[in-house]
Structure 1
């Protein structure tokens, strides 16, 4: 399943219950259809870049959250339909980060194919500089 990123802006309410329920229902939709939520971050209450009219109301600020998740494309379209109809949602956008691990995580990171010292595994080696070279833009020593 592809990895997606959802950035969602929720309408401001006096209590946090509607926002928490929006996050809960969004994650529940993904998990109930065989997906996995990888990360969830609350970005806080922020001013919108410009006032936005949604569901017959003007919005000037919102609660932002970011979610990384794996799901199938049909579930993604169902999620988009739900967010469009939900009166708690002001704006949202979904980005596809990739389908394969190599597309998502660059080599050399903890999820790549290198060990703790940064040396490549599986018999690969890094080229070493000549012994008479000073690293960091220094002069060559003869």
Structure 2
């Protein structure tokens, strides 16, 4: 049977329990039509790149499906009807990804980074623009600050005026 990756976005207003119920409803539709959900991942509430149907955030859910195309058609029909689903995308793949998806690996990596503590600004020398912290500002001597340049030099009145266009 064909393999599919299916991601749907549920409204931010929906509780986590409602999203889980929606996921079990979709899973039961898939299994009822002879398909199988190989993997289910909930990516949680994430910010959207742009507003969709007046929503700035949404619950993201990934389903790896092993089933005929009729299963996907019915799942997408159900999601079009459901008001809690903002958007969905189904992609046919040659093989399903083993282990956690890229989004889950990214979340783990971010969590590990937070465990290390701090941020780039806590390095020796302070923030990049912090004058007292030792930042010397590029390749200029004296820290990059030029100071007052003094008054402008007088205009050169001897410069020729631009030639006016003449009609012939």
TM bucket, shorter chain: 0.5 to 0.7
Match of 2:61 among 62, 65, 89: 65
The reply on whether 1:86 has 2:82 as its aligned counterpart is yes
What is residue 115 of structure 1 aligned with on the other side? none
Task: Give ranges in structure 1 of 5+ residues lacking alignment.
Answer: 99-103, 110-142
Q: What do you get for the CA RMSD once the two structures are aligned?
A: 1.9
Question: How much has 1:46 moved relative to structure 2?
Answer: 0.5
Q: Deviations over 1:16-42 (max 9, x none)?
A: 232111101111111111111110111
Moved over 4 A (4+): none
Rounded to whole Å, the distance in 1 between the matches of 2:25 and 2:63 is: 13
Task: Give ranges in structure 2 of 5+ residues lacking alignment.
Answer: 99-168
Aligned length: 98
Rounded to whole Å, the distance in 1 between the matches of 2:24 and 2:80 is: 16
What is residue 132 of structure 1 aligned with on the other side? none
Q: 1:14 to 1:22 in 2, by over 3 A?
A: closer
User: As a proportion of its length, which structure holds more helix?
Assistant: 2
The reply on whether 1:43 has 2:39 as its aligned counterpart is no
Secondary structure of residue in 2 paired with 1:27: helix
Rounded to whole Å, the distance in 2 between the matches of 1:37 and 1:52 is: 27
Given the two structures, how large is their TM-score scaled by the length of structure 2? 0.54
Secondary structure of residue in 2 paired with 1:69: strand
Secondary structure of residue in 2 paired with 1:75: helix
Rounded to whole Å, the distance in 2 between the matches of 1:78 and 1:89 is: 15
What is residue 24 of structure 2 aligned with on the other side? 24
Choose 1 or 2 for highest CA Rg: 2
User: As a proportion of its length, which structure holds more strand?
Assistant: 1
Query: Is this contact kept in 2: 1:47–1:62, CA < 8 A?
Result: yes
Rounded to whole Å, the distance in 1 between the matches of 2:16 and 2:67 is: 27
Query: Is this contact kept in 2: 1:18–1:88, CA < 8 A?
Result: no
Question: How much has 1:13 moved relative to structure 2?
Answer: 2.6
